[in-house]
Amino acid sequence: MEKSWPAVDYEVGREKIREFVEATAERHVIYHDRKASRGAGFRDLVAPPMFAVVYTHRSLWPAIEDPEVGIDLSKMLHVGQDFRWSEPVCAGDVITTETSLADVQKGKKGSTYTFESHARNDRGDETVHATWTMMVMGG
């Protein structure tokens, strides 16, 4: 079953980057200070790579919750994710993410669902290609 959902936009703000950095205890100065980010060659305050979770989840959740996919959230376990980062994300970027259901494997004890998300900034550069794997027990 291959299926995709409408693209979702996310406008990256400096304060969202700072909140993420504080919540994750990131210590590198380029993620805290706009001047340091620019001094390192970035367009504006740069986000840590794992900030990808913030801007991709808005595209992923409609896919997981789609009744046609048939995932019982009460039996779902997130068992894996893989990120391939490209262009760094900076404050002011508008990131567009598209998610598709790449694969479903049915087994005796459950089913495994693999979703892929592709995110691009407003200049057309890919920022991340993410693969998400969910196991649904008994389904």
Torsion of CA 116, 87, 21, 117, to 10 degrees: -10
Residue 92 resides in a domain: yes
Q: Region 65-69: what's the mean pLDDT?
A: 94
Containing structural domain, residue 122: 3-12+49-137
Q: Tally the domains of the chain.
A: 1
Residue 37 resides in a domain: no
Strand 110-120 and strand 8-11: the pairing is: unpaired
Residue 95 resides in a domain: yes
DSSP-assigned letter for residue 116: E
Residue 84 resides in a domain: yes
Q: How many angstroms separate the Cα of 123 from the Cα of each of 10, 79, 109, 139?
A: 14, 33, 44, 41
Q: Are 100 and 5 in contact (CB under 8 A)?
A: yes
Residue 74 resides in a domain: yes
Residue 97 resides in a domain: yes
pLDDT digits (tens, 9 = 90+) for 26-62: 999 999 999 999 999 999 999 999 999 999 999 999 9
Residue 34 resides in a domain: no
pLDDT digits (tens, 9 = 90+) for 105-123: 999 999 999 999 999 999 9
Tell me the average pLDDT of the chain.
96
Question: Averaging pLDDT over each range in 1-10, 115-124, 130-139, which range is the top one?
Answer: 115-124
Global pTM reads 0.91
Q: Region 92-112: what's the mean pLDDT?
A: 96
Residue 17 resides in a domain: no
Return phi, psi of residue 90, to 5°: -125, 155
> Rounded to an integer, what distance in angstroms lies between the CA atom of residue 41 and that of residue 7?
29
- Say whether pLDDT at 72 is over 80: yes
Place of tokens 């703000």: 13
Band (139; pLDDT cuts 50, 70, 90): low
CATH number at residue 54: 3.10.129.10
